[in-house]
Chains A and B, each alone.
Chain A
Amino acid sequence: MADENLLVIDGLRDVLKLKNGEAAYPVDGVSFTVPRSKTVGLVGESGCGKSMTARTVMRILDKGISVAEGHITFDGEDLLALPEPQMRDIRGNRIAMIFQEPMTALNPSISVGKQVREAILLHEKVSRAEAKERVIQMFREVGIPEADRRYKSYPHQLSGGLRQRICIAMGMICNPDLLIADEPTTALDVTVEAQILELMKRLQRESGMSILIITHNLGVVADICDEVNVMYAGQIVEHATKAEIFNRPLHPYTIGLMDAIPRVNGDMEHDLHTIPGTVPALGNFPEGCRFCTRCPFADERCRTQAPALEDAGDGHLVRCFKPQEVR
């Protein structure tokens, strides 16, 4: 149902042309949905295609990468078919994005207030003074102390947490329907992280926007998400609600990620669990299941045949031949 889901990504495949003429697929057949007013997590290690999926939605892919197949439907509109000027109207206005590094996501030579104001002036016909008022109002809303004075500050004069608040203010200023947050708290320390997540939850309650949050931190997922998609090597390997995925993780990769969370009251005798190896290099994915090289349960079938994403009950999807045995 188009009405229930704000964003529908269907069979998305990004192609990257390599120098030797071959093609690689950093995002390979990704499908998921973001329901209205819900928070969906996209979880995985570095280099598994999470950020590229988000950038494809925004259509801000780097040169050399393009969409090979698939559809992205946003509020009933086919984003990939939209002409660039219309797409620009959506960017920042209806879909906003906040980035991982609040240190570099702000232009160092423009005061933060003007940068946020720019976002309003781009999409709405309001006077500069009015826009400024709204920026200061938004600064207060995202918890920036002395908002009217901070308007004139430059990014380097602010702390990391404040800068991320500015970025969120910039994302929220046009009341987007969808906020894409690409590792919004990775560069922050844990106390600030908690504050930022709390802020995002409050803004969501107030505005009813949907959030797509990209993270490698399951703690963030536990805090903020309603649904989770786990990505590995360009594919979704597991999809479930938050409660379901923490209670009944099915994919060995998800389980590995869970075990890798340090526990305060855990058994200090044992080392922290890690998943051996790294994500296989792009264009070098193994035949069969892409996780087979690192999976402790892999057998001959896993190495030769690729499993499909299948329903393991109650809409809990998993891409594994033996999800039950895993536990």
Chain B
Amino acid sequence: MVTKRSKKREEKLVKAAVETGGSQTRDIIRAFMKHKVSVVALVVLVIILIAAIVSGFIFSEEQITAITAAARLQPPSLEHWFGTDAFGRDVFARTVYGARYSLFFGLTTAALSLVIGTAIGSACAYLGGTFDIVVMRIMDSLVCIPSLLLMLALVAVIGRGMHGIIIALVVTSVPGTARIVRSIVIGVVQNEYVEAARAAGVTTPQIIWRHVLPNAFGPILVNILMNISGSIISASSMSFLGMGIQPPTPEWGAMINDALPLIRTSPYLIVFPGIAVLVTSLCFNLLGDGLTDSLDPHSR
């Protein structure tokens, strides 16, 4: 019975092994689909993204910030799903609209730190020597400073606007990306297949493009997804501390800060933006987890 089952399983594995191939993308998608939690996270993120985009067309900024004294502090109802705040603004609309800020910060920071971090990290890995030592020690010293303190200091110097926050977020996330990219590239370059490619007469740019980057891409991408969720939390934290986006703009951190005095009477004002931050950043993390496994050909 047992042998029969294991034989069947073996046949299935052989069949799968023979059938795989062709499109690598298809393999990755198939592997990713097996991670149910990550698929759910992806779906939720897509919904959040669509909501963020659509909300820009449905609500004007004025609608989101306009004060309606008559409707203030209503608990969640069919009319106002998440209730209304102290100024009578619909919390649901503000929360959905707030996704625009959080996603913008998260994605922009991640993209910038991917580009800058990959450039720094791979340059260090490839050039080595004094350049590597000096640059990496600078990165290390940046990591040593508690990131929230560093961000607050940078915002204080640069200013509280959008660009201030983004620069602060990028400066704090680049060192981590650079370190990870450097170690990944060093590891990949040492693989025998890179040497084998050289021995086969492959040119250096082709080696980097075909043999190094595809094998380094997975871990780097996962790091970037973690970066997005980190940046979302950091941006909200700064707004919560009053150093980021300022009220009445519906940034989640700023909304929580706004509602702090009302925590006993109207806790829903804090709960909904809080859940929004939690769900969004958690989904990016879960997506990263799923991709880690599906991008690694060994664990497919």
| A associates with B | yes
Tell me whether B298 and A105 are in contact (CB under 8 A): no
Q: Give the number of residues in B that approach A within 8 Å (Cβ atoms).
A: 25
Chain B interface, >50% SS class:
helix
Are B20 and A153 closer than 8 Å at their CB atoms? yes
Q: How many A-B residue pairs have CB under 8 A?
A: 89
Task: Judge whether A161 is part of the interface by a CB distance below 8 angstroms.
Answer: no
- Given the complex of chains A and B, what is the CA–CA distance between A170 and B196 in angstroms? 10
Residues of B1-44 at the interface with A, using a CB-CB cut-off of 8 Å, are 17-18, 20-22, 24
Residue contact B201 to A93, C-beta cutoff 8 Å: yes
Q: Which of A34-42, A117-125, A269-277 contacts B (4 or more CB under 8 A)?
A: A117-125
Q: Indicate if the CB atoms of B210 and A92 lie closer than 8 Å.
A: no
Complex: chain A residue closest to B214, CB-CB: A109
B197: A residues at CB distance < 8 A = 107
Shortest distance in angstroms between B23's beta carbon and chain A's nearest beta carbon? Answer: 10
Instruction: Check if B195 is an interface residue, CB within 8 A of chain A.
Output: yes
Query: Are B199 and A96 touching (Cβ within 8 A)?
Result: yes
> Among the listed stretches A83-91, A200-208, A235-243, A282-290, which one makes contact with chain B, having 4 or more residues with CB under 8 Å of it?
A83-91
What B residues does A151 contact at CB under 8 A? Answer: 21
**Bound Cα distance A105, B191 (Å):** 7
Known: A99-B192, A153-B21. A108 touches B298 (CB 8 A): yes
How far does the alpha carbon of A146 sit from the alpha carbon of B211 in the complex, in Å? 26
Binary CB contact string for chain B from 193 to 214 against chain A (1 if under 8 A, 0 otherwise): 1011111111100000011001
Closest Cβ of chain B to A194, distance in Å, is 23
Contacts of B118 in A (CB 8 A): none
Contact assessment for A108 and B210 in the assembled complex, using a CB-CB cutoff below 8 Å? no
Residue from A97, A100, A123 having most chain B Cβ neighbours under 10 A: A97
Q: What is the CA–CA distance of A90 and B199 in the complex, to the nearest angstrom? A: 9
Q: Flag if B201 contacts A92 (CB, 8 Å).
A: yes
Interface status of A278 (Cβ within 8 A of chain B): no
Docked-complex contact B20 and A154, CB < 8 angstroms: yes
**A88-B201, A96-B200, A153-B18 known; A118+B210 contact, CB < 8 A:** yes
Those of A138-190 within 8 Å (CB) of chain B? 146, 149, 151-154, 156-157, 167, 170
Tell me whether A292 is interfacial, beta carbon within 8 Å. Answer: no
A108 touches B215 (CB 8 A): yes
Given contacts A109-B214, A153-B18, contact A104 B193 (CB under 8 A): yes
Give the residue name and chain of the B residue nearest to A103 (CB): B192
CB-CB nearest 9 A-B residue pairs: A152-B21, A92-B200, A91-B201, A92-B201, A97-B199, A104-B192, A157-B17, A105-B192, A107-B193
30 contacts between A and B (CB under 8 A): A60-B195, A60-B198, A90-B201, A91-B198, A92-B199, A93-B201, A96-B200, A97-B196, A97-B199, A97-B200, A99-B199, A104-B191, A105-B193, A105-B195, A105-B196, A107-B193, A108-B215, A108-B297, A109-B24, A109-B214, A110-B210, A119-B200, A122-B201, A122-B202, A123-B201, A149-B18, A152-B21, A154-B20, A154-B297, A170-B200
